[in-house]
Protein backbone atom coordinates (compact mmCIF):
# COMPACT_ATOMS: atom_id res chain seq x y z
CA UNK A 1 0.00 0.00 0.00
CA UNK A 2 1.76 3.15 -1.20
CA UNK A 3 -0.96 5.46 0.18
CA UNK A 4 -0.99 8.87 -1.50
CA UNK A 5 1.82 9.58 -3.93
CA UNK A 6 2.71 12.88 -5.57
CA UNK A 7 5.04 13.74 -8.42
CA UNK A 8 7.24 15.64 -8.89
CA UNK A 9 8.74 16.44 -5.46
CA UNK A 10 10.24 19.70 -6.70
CA UNK A 11 9.54 21.89 -9.72
CA UNK A 12 10.73 25.26 -10.95
CA UNK A 13 8.66 27.08 -13.55
CA UNK A 14 8.90 30.37 -15.36
CA UNK A 15 5.98 32.77 -15.25
CA UNK A 16 3.42 31.80 -17.87
CA UNK A 17 4.40 28.15 -18.14
CA UNK A 18 1.86 25.43 -17.52
CA UNK A 19 2.29 22.14 -15.75
CA UNK A 20 0.42 19.30 -14.09
CA UNK A 21 1.01 18.07 -10.56
CA UNK A 22 0.23 14.39 -10.28
CA UNK A 23 -1.54 12.71 -7.38
CA UNK A 24 -2.51 9.07 -7.02
CA UNK A 25 -3.89 6.94 -4.19
CA UNK A 26 -4.30 3.19 -3.88
CA UNK A 27 -6.75 3.09 -0.97
CA UNK A 28 -9.89 3.26 -3.13
CA UNK A 29 -10.88 6.54 -1.47
CA UNK A 30 -13.71 8.47 -3.05
CA UNK A 31 -12.70 11.87 -1.70
CA UNK A 32 -9.53 13.56 -2.96
CA UNK A 33 -8.37 17.12 -2.51
CA UNK A 34 -5.56 19.57 -3.20
CA UNK A 35 -4.16 22.04 -0.67
CA UNK A 36 -1.46 24.63 -0.80
CA UNK A 37 0.67 25.55 2.19
CA UNK A 38 2.18 29.00 2.45
CA UNK A 39 4.18 30.44 5.37
CA UNK A 40 1.88 31.74 8.07
CA UNK A 41 -1.24 30.61 6.17
CA UNK A 42 -1.69 26.96 7.09
CA UNK A 43 -3.17 24.66 4.44
CA UNK A 44 -5.80 26.07 2.13
CA UNK A 45 -8.15 23.97 0.01
CA UNK A 46 -7.81 24.50 -3.76
CA UNK A 47 -10.14 21.90 -5.31
CA UNK A 48 -11.70 18.66 -4.23
CA UNK A 49 -13.51 15.68 -5.71
CA UNK A 50 -16.03 13.23 -4.23
CA UNK A 51 -15.66 10.69 -7.02
CA UNK A 52 -14.77 10.13 -10.65
CA UNK A 53 -16.25 12.87 -12.80
CA UNK A 54 -17.17 15.11 -9.84
CA UNK A 55 -15.05 18.08 -8.79
CA UNK A 56 -15.68 21.31 -6.93
CA UNK A 57 -13.85 24.44 -5.89
CA UNK A 58 -12.29 25.04 -2.52
CA UNK A 59 -11.12 28.23 -0.89
CA UNK A 60 -8.44 29.29 -3.42
CA UNK A 61 -9.29 27.78 -6.85
CA UNK A 62 -8.22 30.61 -9.18
CA UNK A 63 -5.43 29.66 -11.59
CA UNK A 64 -5.91 25.92 -11.10
CA UNK A 65 -7.87 23.23 -12.92
CA UNK A 66 -8.64 19.68 -11.88
CA UNK A 67 -10.32 16.64 -13.35
CA UNK A 68 -11.08 13.19 -11.96
CA UNK A 69 -11.36 10.50 -14.61
CA UNK A 70 -10.53 7.60 -12.27
CA UNK A 71 -10.88 6.92 -8.54
CA UNK A 72 -7.10 6.67 -8.18
CA UNK A 73 -5.87 9.86 -9.86
CA UNK A 74 -6.52 13.55 -9.23
CA UNK A 75 -4.13 15.80 -11.20
CA UNK A 76 -3.84 19.54 -10.56
CA UNK A 77 -3.12 21.76 -13.55
CA UNK A 78 -1.58 25.19 -13.45
CA UNK A 79 -2.69 26.92 -16.63
CA UNK A 80 -0.31 29.89 -16.64
CA UNK A 81 2.01 29.88 -13.63
CA UNK A 82 2.44 33.07 -11.60
CA UNK A 83 4.92 33.85 -8.79
CA UNK A 84 1.96 33.93 -6.37
CA UNK A 85 1.59 30.20 -7.00
CA UNK A 86 4.97 29.49 -5.43
CA UNK A 87 4.00 27.15 -2.62
CA UNK A 88 4.04 23.61 -1.33
CA UNK A 89 1.15 21.57 -2.70
CA UNK A 90 -0.37 18.63 -0.88
CA UNK A 91 -2.81 16.08 -2.19
CA UNK A 92 -5.03 14.20 0.25
CA UNK A 93 -7.64 11.47 0.17
CA UNK A 94 -10.25 9.98 2.49
CA UNK A 95 -13.21 7.62 2.31
CA UNK A 96 -16.72 9.03 2.04
CA UNK A 97 -18.06 6.60 4.62
CA UNK A 98 -16.53 5.60 7.94
CA UNK A 99 -13.49 7.72 8.85
CA UNK A 100 -14.51 10.52 6.52
CA UNK A 101 -12.77 13.21 8.53
CA UNK A 102 -9.35 11.59 8.49
CA UNK A 103 -7.52 12.71 5.38
CA UNK A 104 -4.32 10.97 4.27
CA UNK A 105 -1.76 13.33 2.78
CA UNK A 106 0.91 12.83 0.16
CA UNK A 107 4.49 14.04 0.72
CA UNK A 108 3.97 17.28 -1.19
CA UNK A 109 5.32 19.06 -4.26
CA UNK A 110 7.43 22.17 -3.74
CA UNK A 111 6.79 24.55 -6.62
CA UNK A 112 8.76 27.70 -7.37
CA UNK A 113 7.57 30.11 -10.05
CA UNK A 114 10.18 32.61 -11.21
CA UNK B 1 -11.78 35.65 7.80
CA UNK B 2 -9.81 32.92 9.53
CA UNK B 3 -12.24 30.40 10.97
CA UNK B 4 -9.59 28.30 12.71
CA UNK B 5 -6.83 30.06 14.62
CA UNK B 6 -3.69 28.88 16.33
CA UNK B 7 -2.34 31.95 18.04
CA UNK B 8 0.96 30.48 19.20
CA UNK B 9 3.38 30.05 16.29
CA UNK B 10 5.83 28.13 18.47
CA UNK B 11 6.15 26.32 21.77
CA UNK B 12 9.19 24.91 23.56
CA UNK B 13 8.78 22.22 26.21
CA UNK B 14 11.22 20.07 28.17
CA UNK B 15 11.23 16.33 27.61
CA UNK B 16 8.91 14.59 30.04
CA UNK B 17 6.75 17.66 30.67
CA UNK B 18 3.29 18.38 29.31
CA UNK B 19 2.83 20.14 25.95
CA UNK B 20 -0.41 22.06 25.49
CA UNK B 21 -1.32 23.31 22.04
CA UNK B 22 -4.33 25.56 21.62
CA UNK B 23 -6.79 26.25 18.84
CA UNK B 24 -9.81 28.56 18.53
CA UNK B 25 -12.59 28.48 15.97
CA UNK B 26 -15.48 30.69 14.98
CA UNK B 27 -17.92 28.49 13.04
CA UNK B 28 -20.31 26.63 15.34
CA UNK B 29 -21.30 24.33 12.44
CA UNK B 30 -17.99 22.44 12.51
CA UNK B 31 -18.79 18.82 13.39
CA UNK B 32 -15.32 17.34 13.94
CA UNK B 33 -11.98 18.70 15.03
CA UNK B 34 -8.67 17.12 14.21
CA UNK B 35 -4.99 17.49 14.95
CA UNK B 36 -2.35 16.77 12.35
CA UNK B 37 1.38 16.51 12.89
CA UNK B 38 3.86 17.54 10.23
CA UNK B 39 7.57 16.88 9.96
CA UNK B 40 9.73 18.90 7.53
CA UNK B 41 9.53 17.75 3.89
CA UNK B 42 6.64 15.37 4.68
CA UNK B 43 2.89 15.58 4.39
CA UNK B 44 0.73 16.09 7.48
CA UNK B 45 -0.23 12.92 9.33
CA UNK B 46 -3.43 12.46 11.30
CA UNK B 47 -2.95 12.40 15.07
CA UNK B 48 -6.27 12.51 16.89
CA UNK B 49 -9.80 13.83 16.43
CA UNK B 50 -12.87 14.69 18.46
CA UNK B 51 -16.52 14.92 17.58
CA UNK B 52 -18.29 18.18 18.36
CA UNK B 53 -20.63 16.26 20.70
CA UNK B 54 -17.74 15.12 22.92
CA UNK B 55 -15.55 17.12 25.26
CA UNK B 56 -12.55 14.81 25.52
CA UNK B 57 -10.81 12.14 23.50
CA UNK B 58 -7.69 10.29 24.58
CA UNK B 59 -5.24 8.16 22.62
CA UNK B 60 -2.14 7.13 24.51
CA UNK B 61 -0.06 10.20 25.31
CA UNK B 62 -2.39 12.47 23.34
CA UNK B 63 -5.62 13.98 24.65
CA UNK B 64 -7.80 16.51 22.92
CA UNK B 65 -10.22 18.68 24.90
CA UNK B 66 -13.10 20.56 23.36
CA UNK B 67 -14.87 23.52 24.98
CA UNK B 68 -17.79 24.31 22.69
CA UNK B 69 -19.05 27.29 24.65
CA UNK B 70 -15.63 28.94 24.31
CA UNK B 71 -15.09 27.58 20.77
CA UNK B 72 -11.72 26.33 21.92
CA UNK B 73 -9.85 23.06 21.72
CA UNK B 74 -6.50 21.97 23.01
CA UNK B 75 -4.11 19.09 22.48
CA UNK B 76 -2.23 17.77 25.49
CA UNK B 77 0.86 15.61 25.03
CA UNK B 78 2.04 13.84 28.19
CA UNK B 79 4.88 13.11 28.58
CA UNK B 80 6.49 15.05 25.74
CA UNK B 81 9.24 13.28 23.83
CA UNK B 82 11.91 14.64 21.44
CA UNK B 83 10.19 12.81 18.56
CA UNK B 84 7.13 14.98 19.15
CA UNK B 85 9.03 17.98 17.78
CA UNK B 86 7.05 18.95 14.69
CA UNK B 87 4.47 21.44 13.45
CA UNK B 88 0.97 20.72 14.73
CA UNK B 89 -2.05 21.81 12.72
CA UNK B 90 -5.53 22.09 14.16
CA UNK B 91 -8.29 21.42 11.61
CA UNK B 92 -12.07 21.64 11.70
CA UNK B 93 -14.43 19.64 9.53
CA UNK B 94 -17.63 20.94 7.98
CA UNK B 95 -20.08 18.47 6.48
CA UNK B 96 -21.41 20.01 3.25
CA UNK B 97 -23.79 17.13 2.52
CA UNK B 98 -21.57 15.59 -0.14
CA UNK B 99 -18.23 15.71 1.65
CA UNK B 100 -16.46 16.84 4.79
CA UNK B 101 -14.21 19.82 4.09
CA UNK B 102 -11.32 20.65 6.38
CA UNK B 103 -10.27 24.15 7.42
CA UNK B 104 -6.78 24.34 8.90
CA UNK B 105 -5.14 26.64 11.38
CA UNK B 106 -1.75 28.14 10.70
CA UNK B 107 0.15 25.64 12.83
CA UNK B 108 2.22 25.63 16.02
CA UNK B 109 5.83 24.51 15.92
CA UNK B 110 6.57 22.36 18.98
CA UNK B 111 10.13 21.82 20.08
CA UNK B 112 10.77 19.28 22.81
CA UNK B 113 14.14 19.87 24.40
CA UNK B 114 16.30 17.40 26.33
Query: Mind telling me how many Å the CA of A29 is from chain B's nearest CA?
Result: 12
Q: Rounded to whole angstroms, how far apart are CA atoms B68 and B23?
A: 12
**B70: which DSSP letter?**
T
Is-contact B92 B85, C-beta < 8 A? Answer: no
Task: Determine the length of chain B.
Answer: 114
CB contact under 8 A, B102 and A101: yes
B:51-80 residues touching chain A, CB 8 A cutoff = none
CB contact under 8 A, A101 and B32: yes
Which residue from A40, A90, A102 is facing B49, i.e. has the nearest CB? A102
Q: What mean pLDDT, rounded, does chain B reach?
A: 94
Q: Rounded to whole angstroms, how far apart are CA atoms B81 and B13?
A: 9
Q: Rounded to whole angstroms, how far apart are CA atoms B90 and B73?
A: 9
Instruction: Tell me the three state secondary structure of residue B95.
Output: strand
The Cβ-side half-sphere exposure at B96, using a 13 Å CA radius, reads: 15
**B64: which DSSP letter?**
E
Q: Rounded to whole angstroms, how far apart are CA atoms A102 and A104?
A: 7
Summarize pLDDT for B53-92 with one digit per residue, the tens.
Answer: 999 999 999 999 999 999 999 999 999 999 999 999 999 9
- CA distances to A39, A42, A112, B81, B85 from B106, rounded to whole Å, are 8, 4, 21, 23, 16
pLDDT at A41: 84
Q: Is the model's pLDDT at A99 over the cut of 70? A: no
Q: Is the model's pLDDT at A45 over the cut of 80? A: yes
Q: Rounded to whole angstroms, how far apart are CA atoms A95 and A31?
A: 6
Phi-psi region of B31 (alpha: psi -120 to 50; beta: other; left: phi over 0): alpha
Highest mean pLDDT among A52-56, B39-43, B86-90: B86-90
What mean pLDDT do residues B23-49 have? Answer: 95
Q: Rounded to whole angstroms, how far apart are CA atoms B10 and A89?
A: 23
Residues of B in contact with A102 (CB under 8 A): 34, 46, 49
Contacts of A57 (CB under 8 A, 6+ apart): A47
Amino acid sequence: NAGVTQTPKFQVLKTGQSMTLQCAQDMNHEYMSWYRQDPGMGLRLIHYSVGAGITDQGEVPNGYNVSRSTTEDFPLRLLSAAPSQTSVYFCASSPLVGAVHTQYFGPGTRLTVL
Amino acid sequence: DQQVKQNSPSLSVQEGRISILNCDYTNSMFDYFLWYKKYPAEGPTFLISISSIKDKNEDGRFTVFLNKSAKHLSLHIVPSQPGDSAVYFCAASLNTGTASKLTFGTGTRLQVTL
